[in-house]
Amino acid sequence: MNRRDFAKLVLAAGAAGPIPFGITRAAGQTRGGILNTVIQPEPPILVSALNQQAPTLTVCGKIYESLLTYDFDLTPRPGMAQSWERSPDGLTYTFKLFPGITFHDGSPMTSEDVVFSVTKALMEAHARARGTFARLASAEAPDPLTVVFKLKAPFAPFLHAFDATTAPIISKALYENTDLRQNPNNARAIGTGPFKLKEWVKGSHIHLVRHEGYYRKGEPYLDEIYYRVIPDAASRAVALESGTIQLTQWNDVEAFDVPRLKALPNLDMTTKGYEFYAPHLWLEMNTRIAPMNDKRFRQAVLYAIDREALRKRVFFGLGKVATGPVSSKTRFYEPDVPKYEYAPAKAVALLDAMGLKPGADGKRVTLKYLVPPYGEMWQRVAEYVRQSLGKVGIDIVLEGIDVGGWAARCGNWEFEISAPWTYQYGDPALGVSRSYISSNIRKGILFSNTAGYSNPEVDRLFEEAAVAQDDATRQKLYSQVQKILVEDAAVAWLMELDFPTFTDKHIKDLVVTGSGVNDTFARAYRA
């Protein structure tokens, strides 16, 4: 732990340049217009404090806001908080809110709502937020525009827990002392965001309209947003092509459609705006089962897969080969780790050295691969892996299953190999360590340390890095832990996934933060 005496550390907007508040509009930004887009699958409810499924978060990003937003490099930027500071001991965080923020029902949003949301609502209903906010000793609202959080112990990524998907603010007046999940206001979806819910025709579309009382004057520029439910991937691509919708996000469009759509003159494509999530794909091997308990086997798997070819052929050039547990898009990435180039000969040598000799049929071992049921791409990844590993004598049998079955079997460790992808949430302590530390080996819980990897040194380094005060110290610890994990091949990292965001050429400034399409769209406009 670095014990240097910090000057009062002001991490506020001053460093971030002009606050986009009441600014004069740049030329060309026009008020008005409708954005048609797609949401799939349809969210169950539109309250992100209570449901954090991916589509819920995308739509709710327009309806609810949190205290901060994050730049493409994950630097905190003002959200509903205009400035914030951290005490030298790293225990107290003070946020100043913008004045004049109102909920969609017209009532003012104050620091009381923030304290209620963080300490009551999210603690009760939001698994990921609970992990961070359980560290709070207290949360206070000394005046309507000031919130003071006190931590029990320092927690370095605290400032990365205030994006709208982790800490959406809901109204204390509407939710206090109620059964949150049964609250009738859930159907109204009352937030403070630039767009409010007008109509939701189940199975058809969600209609959002501008919140006239939005506190950033002049914003949002768009009048309306329609999220249309189009369940079939091919139909979504056609809708985009024909101009029926002007935006697709995440995996709305399958990777094999990307080259074709990219060539269309009416569309723009970007892969920016997913930095906060930095989705990371890996091959998870259940280390409770031989031979996957042997790190030589896991290393052999990494050598046997030509991940660059996987990127080119299966993902059509989208994304980047992952070199280790931390995504290069996020903070504390360490590039100098052991390398696993495509070298089937090395894989064979490792497997031979283990004594895992091929049988008469050329197979050394047969393992089952539980294919994630999230779309055609994951089936293709599975087939590619089967081909690659087959060449070095590792026989793979693919098992198909639906979402419910996949979640149950991965969570309960009833799998041999699978390929999950997880988000990194802006900080290794929030999105990376959970997959490797021993204390997070929890049966029945998906996205915990389901591979069962356990290493006391790794546990210690992650723990120290989470509470260290300055970034230099944290970088040192995270670099160390990345080297160990990669040497151990805790899992076989495959790809830093890129998702294509297609927008109509007339839609501008849609992706402006590291949360991209999950952000507010307050500054998006039709040119």
Partner 1 sequence: MRMLAGLAAWIARTLAVILVIASVNFALVHAAPGDPAQVIAGQSGASDETLLRQLRAEYGLDKPYAVQLATYLGRVLRLDLGYSYRQQRPVLGLVLERLPATLLLTGTAFALALGFGILLGTLSGVRAGRWSDTLIGLVALVLYAMPVFWLGLMLVLVFSVQLEWLPAFGYRSVGATFSPLGQVGDVLAHLVLPALSLAAVYLAVYARLMRTAIVEVAAQDYVKTARAKGLTRGRVIRDHMIRNAILPVVTVAGMQAGALVGGSVVVETVFAWPGLGRLVFEALSQRDYPVLLGLFLVMSVLVILINMLTDLLARLIDPRIAASARAA
Q: Which two tokens stand for residue 249?
A: 């996000």
Cβ at position 518, least distance to partner 1 in Å: 12
Query: How many residues make contact with partner 1 (CB under 8 A)?
Result: 59
Cβ at position 229, least distance to partner 1 in Å: 6
Closest to partner 1 by CB, 185 or 473? 185
Interface residue with partner 1, options 9, 309, 345, 408 (CB under 8 A): 408
Closest to partner 1 by CB, 103 or 250? 250
Give first-to-last CA distance, the chain, whole Å. 51
Residue-wise DSSP of 238-288: HHHHHTS-SEE-TTSS-GGGHHHHHT-TTEEEE--S-TTT--EEEEEE-TT
CA-closest candidate to residue 302, choices 449, 142, 486: 486
Check residue 26 for interaction with partner 1 (CB under 8 A). no
Distance between CA atoms of 247 and 62, rounded to whole angstroms? 15
Residue 69 burial (10 A CB sphere; 0-12, 13-18, 19+): buried
Q: Which two tokens stand for residue 155?
A: 């927690």
Cβ at position 50, least distance to partner 1 in Å: 9
Distance between CA atoms of 483 and 335, rounded to whole angstroms? 9
Show the binding pattern over residues 414-453: x = contacts partner 1 (CB under 8 A), - = does not: --------xx----------x-------x-xxxx------
Distance between CA atoms of 405 and 376, rounded to whole angstroms? 17
Check residue 33 for interaction with partner 1 (CB under 8 A). no
CB-CB neighbours of 405 under 10 Å: 14
Cβ at position 102, least distance to partner 1 in Å: 25
Closest to partner 1 by CB, 129 or 465? 129
Check residue 226 for interaction with partner 1 (CB under 8 A). yes
Show the binding pattern over residues 115-144: x = contacts partner 1 (CB under 8 A), - = does not: ----------x-xx-xx-------------
Show the binding pattern over residues 242-281: x = contacts partner 1 (CB under 8 A), - = does not: x-x-------------------------------------
Check residue 32 for interaction with partner 1 (CB under 8 A). no
Cis peptide before 220 (omega within 30 of 0): yes
Closest to partner 1 by CB, 414 or 471? 414
Number of H helices and number of E strands within the chain?
15, 23
Count CA within 13 A, CB hemisphere, residue 137: 10
Q: Interface with partner 1 by CB under 8 A: which residues? A: 34, 36, 41-42, 44-45, 51-54, 125, 127-128, 130-131, 181-182, 186-187, 201-205, 207, 224, 226, 228-232, 234-235, 238-239, 241-242, 244, 373, 401-411, 422-423, 434, 442, 444-447
